[in-house]
Chains A and B, each alone.
Chain A
Amino acid sequence: MATTVKNKKTAPLGTADAMHIRPFSIRRVVKESFDTFSLELDPLSGEKGHKFAPGQFNMLYVYGVGEVPISISGDPTRHKTLTHTTREVGTVTRAMRNLKVGDTLGVRGPFGSSWPVEDAVGNDVVIVAGGIGLAPLRPVIYYILAHREKYGKVVLLYGTRTPEDILFRKDLEKWRSRFDLETLLTVDRATGAWKGNVGVVTTLIGRAPFDPLNCVAMVCGPEIMMRFTVLELQKRGVEEDKTFISMERNMKCGIGLCGHCQLGPTFVCKEGPVYCYRDLKDVFIKREM
């Protein structure tokens, strides 16, 4: 019997809380690829941890430079340290990249909806990530592995541009060695030295071992990659109300007030970033959105 799966919409924070920037100290900087890095942060305000749900994001403030929304990429079962992964793409993330261990960063959040990890219990889970889209999905993998017995088959399909762009290599090595997690990697282009798969991430869907009628799919990556991925999942028979995608828009306030991240009838910072595909499909492929 089909079960209903929903993405979690967190109760909006009070305006005062949501606008309160808390100082965090950088404990560790990890270079993930030539332009992507992770920051591990410890709270300076004496709070014991920073609870979040997989898929949520924080607004990170580089003092004197600006604030940007960044996905939380750490382990949701370990609240003490907060981990964010981002790519160096603009003024703020460039400044962030230059921060050192011990420097201070402001944090607001967590914001947004989350992946339906609890509602997916009892189902197979297919996680499809493209490029930096693995960052907001990594907490899902941590969560599922911490509660592994509650799920059916779990499959991670990960695609990047080249082998040099693969993120979280240590995690991927660990995940690939597990018998209870099927991890398939592919790159769009490679030279002769690469022994792994070459081809777009959608090519992995056809041969991934999961039951399409009893599975929840979670997809994150560039929108065009998600479009083709959803089509391929549908070809395998995955239902659209069990397919979830994470959207990226220009998020500013984090609480649906400023309107910068409006996507059709929703605000991505509040109702998103994680959406059930069924709820978003009408605006997902609209060019004007």
Chain B
Amino acid sequence: MENLERILKEHPFLAGLDDKYIKLLVGCASNVAFKAGEYIFREGENANQFYFIRHGKVQVETYVPQQGPVIIRTRSEGEIFGWSWLVPPYKWHFDARAVEVTRALALDGKCLRDKCEEDHNLGYEIMKRFALIIAERLEQTRMQLLDVYGNHSKK
């Protein structure tokens, strides 16, 4: 537990968060590991967690008929992924698959949602941090859509 508390406290995502909330988050956290190629979650499943990647790499992908899985983003060590637990209907919109052996901290989003409802200060702190992540992802996706490199490969 002490170790989880230290990891969460030192993570930039939670910088400045009150110790009492860190302790509360520790109660929602667990260490998880995934083998290379293992799906962490699949599109349409209930979104009840989010993850802090401690080691490894995760692909966020979707399945396109006649094309197979298309990778949307790669998440690496130090990054956070998964925010569907935060917005109804709490379902994953994409698949997430470990590219290599991946170790992460999984936070129970359902438990955290309840705690945020009980304590709106905590809810605001969490929302503030996820809003930044969502805005950043939106900006990156827009840039991806711009297709800035011009000429398209024949593939």
Contacts and interface: CB of A to CB of B under 8 A. Distances in A.
Interface string A177-194: 000000000101111101
B143 interface: yes
B89 interface: no
A114 to B, nearest CB: 24
Nearest to B139: A228
B152 interface: yes
B101 interface: no
B70 A191 contact: yes
B144 interface: yes
Interface string A211-246: 000000000011011001000000000000000000
Contacts of B148: 130-131, 188, 221-222, 224-225
Interface in B53-73: 57, 59, 61, 67-73
Interface in A89-144: 89, 130-132
A12 interface: no
Contact of B151 (A35, A202, A203): A35
Contacts of A192: 61, 68-71
A162 B151 contact: no
A85 interface: no
A154 interface: no
Interface in B91-129: 99-100
A198 B81 CA distance: 14
Interface string B132-155: 000000001001101111111111
Given A198-B59, A199-B73, A164 B153 contact: yes
A87 B78 contact: no
B155 A188 contact: no
B84 interface: no
Interface residues of B, number: 30
Given A191-B68, A191-B69, A224 B140 contact: no
Contact of A186 (B69, B74, B152, B154): B74
Contacts of A160: 149
B70 A190 contact: yes
Contacts of B151: 35, 87, 89
A200 B76 contact: no
A189 B76 contact: no
Given A202-B140, A202-B143, A207-B76, A164 B71 contact: no
Contacts of B150: 131, 222
Given A162-B155, A192-B61, A198 B67 contact: no
Contacts of A200: 140, 143-144
Nearest to A231: B139
Contact of A199 (B68, B77, B144, B155): B144
Interface in A138-164: 160-162, 164
B149 A198 contact: no
Contact of B146 (A35, A164, A191, A224): A224
Contact of A207 (B73, B78, B144, B152): B78
Contacts of A130: 148-149
Nearest to A226: B148
Contacts of A203: 73, 140
A189 B153 contact: no
Contacts of A186: 74
Residue of A131, A132, A190 most packed against chain B (CB within 10 A): A190
Contacts of B68: 191-192
Given A161-B152, A191-B68, 14 more contacts: A34-B154, A35-B153, A89-B151, A130-B149, A160-B149, A164-B155, A165-B153, A190-B70, A195-B99, A198-B71, A198-B74, A222-B149, A224-B148, A225-B143
Interface of A: 33-35, 87, 89, 130-132, 160-162, 164-165, 186, 188-192, 194-200, 202-203, 207, 221-222, 224-225, 228
17 contacts: A89-B151, A131-B148, A161-B152, A162-B155, A165-B149, A186-B74, A190-B71, A191-B67, A191-B68, A191-B71, A192-B70, A195-B99, A198-B72, A199-B73, A202-B143, A207-B79, A224-B143
